Structure 1
């Protein structure tokens, strides 16, 4: 101001001017909370499939009601997830950087290209067991409870307890990065301990897991004792269920989406919701147009994973047993696995766990002169990707 207009102002005055400008551009936060009911009705009016829930708090009749929590799930995201995504959901919470504070809860799926698919959102005052229960219950009502789901999350306050209550209908996995952070606080880090823990988590069959855990026990018995208390089904691939066709160990999909919406988290509530809505509209339309330039049946990211298995299949030698069953042995006779092409299974569990033929299965398929692309699960195909992004938001 001094250089351009030859006017001297104080820092406080410049700060107040900035607040006035932000209020003009982004809207007044107080008025937006008062207008949230009209915004919710407008979302329902333009699309009856949109789910919008508002909770208010009123401690006593003499006190004016105040905002409690706000949940919204757009119809296009809901239908895209149900028809085109695997039953795998990442959930996370992040801070809102406004004068009122609060938390934004998010639920994110995985599309046919193994990328994040935003699903549902909730604005709450704090991350508590009650707020997470409210959010998860509304999410389950939207996506339906006719199939079993797998959720992955950090160990947020109250969230683990909610998943334990719902263990009959869902499974819960822990993000390995945060599990290791807790592990490191107790026993310290170090490349050896980290690699052994990661190796145990990544082992797709029981024998490999036992080998890594025994090495960890020899290196640090206390760390081994602590880790053995954690249920293996929540952090080890060999104990994961096969039906979601997802072997991810970290909640990267939620963290990636949190990073994407970082620019919106310092805005008033309705401005933030509109930013998210417009971003989702653009993402759905842009992703749908990408199919025009992709000629293959299997989407790019899972196809790269299949190509890696094909590349590594050269070290494996198949021996035909009977019907469509093979014994596949490493060229140095260090390991051997049983592949059943008819059942689309391998004793290493990778094929059933991920839905993509492992290197042992690729070796057996090559013996029969069959194309591995034809044995990739349907969840990675162009058709599923088109269903993910074929609905308007």
Structure 2
């Protein structure tokens, strides 16, 4: 298995899962240096199965998962402890870097807590999932081929030196909120920013960038730029001939598994 999966700079990769039995052990064997995240929805389900439930407890866990600073994460832990000491003990056994934004690495440029992207993809291939293996793969190939081309053509209309439209829209909202922050300079390197509590992206940083008469766009990571988006979709999934033109295999044909009727005689 190690020979089949080769990923350079594994520390830059993050995998999200529901932590099925044996999955983490497999990662430790094949990809030992990647980071892991745990879908918070599955974490809630496991918490419920462990005997701890209720809307108040659910909200407390989501607050701890969504917070962006370690200090506020610790405060959320205190609130959770006061709600239910046993639930707090159960959650404390989970590694915070796997489910709370406050402990996420800054290397991945994504802070998602759910598997919505997987759900969207599953819906995307819903019709294909009922087909045979070859038809399934062909359908997925066609869907991805046209989608990649569509995204590539869309990005060609964007300014290459700009950031992606959705990111730019989100940044504009953050910049509007940053107007409520007042930076106070201490020395060449240190500032104190007065304003509401901090979030991500950081309004404090934007207020300092303005104080230095600099451009906010200069501080946006390359990950969010149009140039990066275009590089992601520059490769194409090429068309291929129909099955009549495929090379003939000398292997015996594959047949579907045998159907087993588990109904006992005399029962419907």
**TM-score with structure 1 setting the length:** 0.56
Does residue 252 (structure 1) correspond to residue 252 (structure 2)? The answer is no
Cα offset for 1:307? 2.3
The 1:301–1:157 alpha-carbon spacing in structure 2 relative to 1, beyond 3 Å, is: farther
Question: Unpaired runs of 5+ in structure 2?
Answer: 238-268
> Which residue of structure 2 lines up, in the alignment, with residue 115 of structure 1?
none
> Which residue of structure 2 lines up, in the alignment, with residue 239 of structure 1?
103
Q: Is the 8 A contact 1:319 1:327 kept in 2?
A: yes
Q: Matches of 2:52 and 2:94 in 1, distance apart?
A: 18
Question: Unpaired runs of 5+ in structure 1?
Answer: 1-133, 338-347, 351-356
Q: Is the 8 A contact 1:150 1:170 kept in 2?
A: yes
Does residue 308 (structure 1) correspond to residue 180 (structure 2)? The answer is no
Cα deviation 1:95-135 (Å, max 9, x = unaligned): xxxxxxxxxxxxxxxxxxxxxxxxxxxxxxxxxxxxxxx5x
Cα offset for 1:151? 0.8
> Which residue of structure 2 lines up, in the alignment, with residue 146 of structure 1?
9
Q: Is the 8 A contact 1:145 1:169 kept in 2?
A: no
Q: Matches of 2:145 and 2:229 in 1, distance apart?
A: 16
Q: Is the 8 A contact 2:67 2:101 kept in 1?
A: yes
The 1:233–1:326 alpha-carbon spacing in structure 2 relative to 1, beyond 3 Å, is: same
Cα offset for 1:326? 2.1
- What secondary structure does 1:145 align onto? coil
Q: Which moved further from structure 2: 187-196 or 357-366?
A: 187-196
The 1:307–1:280 alpha-carbon spacing in structure 2 relative to 1, beyond 3 Å, is: same
Cα deviation 1:271-325 (Å, max 9, x = unaligned): 0100011111101110001123334711122223322321221332111222353
Cα offset for 1:221? 0.9
> Which residue of structure 1 lines up, in the alignment, with residue 245 of structure 2?
none
Q: Which moved further from structure 2: 289-298 or 368-377?
A: 289-298
Q: Matches of 2:190 and 2:29 in 1, distance apart?
A: 42
Q: Is the 8 A contact 1:175 1:235 kept in 2?
A: yes
The 1:187–1:319 alpha-carbon spacing in structure 2 relative to 1, beyond 3 Å, is: farther
- What secondary structure does 1:315 align onto? coil
* Structure with the higher fraction of residues in strand conformation: 1
- What secondary structure does 1:288 align onto? helix
Q: Matches of 1:181 and 1:301 in 2, distance apart?
A: 32
Does residue 322 (structure 1) correspond to residue 187 (structure 2)? The answer is yes
The 1:317–1:388 alpha-carbon spacing in structure 2 relative to 1, beyond 3 Å, is: same
- What secondary structure does 1:160 align onto? helix
Does residue 285 (structure 1) correspond to residue 129 (structure 2)? The answer is no
Residue in structure 2 matching 1:361, options 188, 198, 205: 205
Cα offset for 1:360? 1.0
- What secondary structure does 1:265 align onto? helix
Does residue 381 (structure 1) correspond to residue 245 (structure 2)? The answer is no
Q: Matches of 1:279 and 1:137 in 2, distance apart?
A: 29
Higher relative contact order, structure no. (Cα contacts within 8 Å, ≥ 6 residues apart) = 1
> Which residue of structure 2 lines up, in the alignment, with residue 208 of structure 1?
72
**TM-score with structure 2 setting the length:** 0.80
Q: Is the 8 A contact 1:298 1:381 kept in 2?
A: yes
Q: Matches of 1:205 and 1:218 in 2, distance apart?
A: 20
Aligned residues: 235
